Amino acid sequence: MKNHMLDKNAQKIVTALEQDARMSFAALGDEIGMSKTPCWNKVQQLQASGVIEGYSAQLNPKALGLTIRALVHVVVDFEHYQAFEQAINAHKAVRSCHAVTGDSDYVLEILASDIEAFDELLRAQLSRLPGVQRFNTAISTRMVKNNGPYAAMLT
Amino acid sequence: MKNHMLDKNAQKIVTALEQDARMSFAALGDEIGMSKTPCWNKVQQLQASGVIEGYSAQLNPKALGLTIRALVHVVVDFEHYQAFEQAINAHKAVRSCHAVTGDSDYVLEILASDIEAFDELLRAQLSRLPGVQRFNTAISTRMVKNNGPYAAMLT
DNA sequence: CAGTTTTTAAGAACATCGTTCTGGAAATAA
DNA sequence: TTATTTCCAGAACGATGTTCTTAAAAACTG
């Protein structure tokens, strides 16, 4: 959260590791034209400075049986927003939650195994979270693009 | 995209690897109570079956200087939706794009380095993509939750 | 400019890990 | 039961992560 100017090598490293987090340091070194030792040092530094937060396996939600995805816009009573956010963080079906400007206060990304489970989730659980006043649900019918790399956005 | 019932060990594996993709097979074996050989075999199988699609470094967009995130609802002329989707996939500033039900046709997740760059992006680039008819932009003021694990959603 | 310090990279060395192979136990079928 | 198959543990070996040492390049000082 400090250095807003990564040097060229650091950019190549994060680009490569965002695409394949298990690449060996030797292979990483080949891509950026260094041996593996300074390469390893740079990665340690990127981790310590918070640029690299971790490494994650990319799972296929459909292969896990999670076939329904929805974007749910929520209006929340301002008095209870803290309890609402806490409940959102605890809820496993919520993949992401943004506080947003505009007509709604939050936008949730929610997954469910099928449409019945999603209906139950919406009616029995999310609507009863603290402070929730109104919903507006948009079912995602197709993922046109997913996980576009951050590293590619640097200029 | 086939086996919708992962056994208990497979669930533990994807849970662990979604949290730390660089964990060693020995450590993975410790967590699920197996030696590393069958552990390695199961991971190979999960990759081959498409449950694990890859491994990615989790980058911190703020640390990269990407301070603005927005959810943009777009209405697209049906005649040009293919060209629109192609352009979205090619555009680096778009992190994700859902086709959705409801008032809009698509919801984009967009990042920019600052609000001026975002304004330029919206006016000069996205509004000129093929088929775009209307926008509705919600700036994300805070990430309440991010990357909630898929593996935790399995019942 | 010369001399000093600091930074950065490369290569060797060693412990760890990924990957393969083999044998044997547990499960399934006949 | 016997035979067949599936699954797991351990050994073995090559590849990799990590540390240490040294040297070259860069930055700084007089």
CA angle B83, B87, B88 (to 5 degrees): 115
Q: How far apart are CA B138 and CA B112, in angstroms?
A: 14
- Are A92 and A138 a contacting pair, CB within 8 Å? no
Domain B8-49 listed as CATH 1.20.1420.20: no
Mean pLDDT value of segment B124-149: 97
Question: Higher model confidence: residue A6 or residue B87?
Answer: B87
The pLDDT of residue A155 is: 79
Question: Is A27 a residue whose pLDDT tops 80?
Answer: yes
CATH code for the part of the protein at B61-139: 3.30.70.920
The residue ranges of every structural domain in chain A are: 8-49, 61-139
* pLDDT band at residue B4 under the 50/70/90 scheme: low
Interface residue A50 vs chain B (CB under 8 A) = yes
Q: What is the share, in percent, of chain A residues with pLDDT greater than 90?
A: 94
The CA distance from B88 to the nearest CA of chain A, in Å, is: 8
* pLDDT band at residue A4 under the 50/70/90 scheme: low
Q: How far apart are CA B18 and CA B35, in angstroms?
A: 20
Question: Is B9 a residue whose pLDDT tops 80?
Answer: yes
**Cα nearest neighbour of A111 on chain B:** B153
The pLDDT of residue B155 is: 78
* pLDDT band at residue B5 under the 50/70/90 scheme: confident
Q: Over the stretch A75-96, which tens digit does the pLDDT of each residue have?
A: 999 999 999 999 999 999 999 9
Interface residue A75 vs chain B (CB under 8 A) = no
Mean pLDDT value of segment B25-43: 96
* pLDDT band at residue A2 under the 50/70/90 scheme: very low
Residues 9-28 of A with CB under 7 A from strand D: 24-27
Question: Is A1 a residue whose pLDDT tops 70?
Answer: no
- The encoded tokens of residue A62 equal 């459909």
The pLDDT of residue B31 is: 94
The pLDDT of residue A3 is: 43
- Are A40 and B40 a contacting pair, CB within 8 Å? no
H, E, C per residue of B40-74:
HHHHHHHHHCCCEEEEEEEECCCCCCCCEEEEEEE
* pLDDT band at residue A53 under the 50/70/90 scheme: very high
* pLDDT band at residue A115 under the 50/70/90 scheme: very high
Mean pLDDT value of segment B146-153: 97
Q: Using DSSP, how many helices (H) and how many strands (E) does chain B show?
A: 5, 5
How many CB contacts within 8 angstroms connect chain A with chain B? Answer: 231
